[in-house]
Amino acid sequence: MKIVRAKDYYDMSRKAANIISAQIIMKPDCVLGLATGSTPIGTYEQLVEWYKKGDLDFSSVTTINLDEYRGVTKEDPHSYYYFMREKLFSQVNIDLSRTYIPDGMDDDAQHACRFYEEIISRCGGIDLQLLGLGHNGHIGFNEPGTAFEARTHLVNLTEATRKANQRFFADDENVPRQAYTMGIKSIMQAKKIVVVVSGKDKAEALCAAVQGEITPNVQASVLQLHNDVTIVADQEACSLLEV
């Protein structure tokens, strides 16, 4: 596991984007696993900037997103489909038919999860997976206690996770209670993993993930077992890490 210490959020975003852009340049038809949430936004903005300068070409790239709220349509501004379209897909030359996000409107959970795993397999697996880090150490929507062996599955979101996402919704009642997410086993099969972490409020979670015991109670701790993980974190997020 490699830890890249960044000065601030902007520096973190640029350093993470550097790793992703290198992957695209080295393998133009690569498969990128993408994350949503506030932390990766700066990374996507940097990638868009480099694309507009002519430094990146997304035309052969395939993307597979981590998760999606259940019961939320693609047109809903709260959906991760909408998020990805606004933050990245509509601003680069990516082929939308090669972008995959779980179908939040599929009421058959078994079908939705099995179908998504088939997509990952059909694409040949993920070359580089981008992750954020939850306050409780979760990655994707894999809540504490979820088995490491889980593949794509339906999650009942904890109140802590729903509260963390409440700022994106009008009120608490509108925050979805379930989501489809790639499981830890699916994430760990990515060839390379990049985690972006920003802010003092993530310092405890990062410390537990990097220097604590490997336990399902801190889902990100399993990343210690992967052979190619780079964590890009700003100074505040790194404040509790041993030198």
Please indicate, yes or no, whether the overall pTM of this predicted structure exceeds 0.75.
yes
The answer for residues whose C-beta is within 8 angstroms of residue 38's C-beta and 6 or more apart is none
Question: Strands of 153-156's sheet, edge to edge?
Answer: 67-69, 178-181, 153-156
Long-range own/partner contacts, residues 4-11 (CB < 8 A, 24 or more apart): 4/230, 4/231, 4/232, 4/233, 5/233, 5/234, 5/235, 5/238, 6/232, 6/233, 6/234, 6/235, 7/234, 7/235, 8/234, 8/235, 9/42, 9/198, 9/199, 9/234, 10/42, 11/234
- Catalytic residue, candidates 68, 106, 127, 143: 143
2-179+224-234: what fold? Rossmann fold (3.40.50)
Q: How far apart are CA 49 and CA 33, in angstroms?
A: 20
Please say if the pLDDT value at position 105 is more than 70: yes
Looking at 138, 142, 165, 234, which residue is catalytic?
Answer: 138
Active site residue 75: no
Average pLDDT, whole number, for the chain? 94
Among residues 65, 67, 106, 234, the one annotated as catalytic is 67
The pLDDT score that the predictor gives to residue 161 is: 79
Which residues lie below 8 Å from residue 48, measured CB to CB, with a gap of 6+? 88, 91, 92
State the DSSP code for 136.
T
Backbone angles phi, psi at 240, to 5 degrees: -100, 0
**pLDDT (mean) for 6-16:** 98
Q: Is 107 a catalytic residue?
A: no
Average pLDDT over residues 13-26: 98
What is the pLDDT averaged over residues 198-219? 97
**Catalytic-role residue among 65, 136, 142, 165:** 136
138 is catalytic: yes
What per-residue confidence (pLDDT) applies to 171?
64
Q: Is 155 helix (H, G, I), strand (E, B) or coil?
A: strand
Contact 230, 4 (CB under 8 A): yes
Q: Is 174 a catalytic residue?
A: no
What does the domain layout of the chain look like in residue ranges?
A: 2-179+224-234
**pLDDT tens string 43-68:** 999 999 999 999 999 999 999 999 99
What's the pLDDT tens digit per position in 126-185? 999 999 999 999 999 998 999 999 999 999 987 877 777 776 676 666 788 899 999 999
Share of the chain above pLDDT 90, in %: 90
Count of alpha carbons within 13 angstroms of residue 228, beta-carbon side: 12
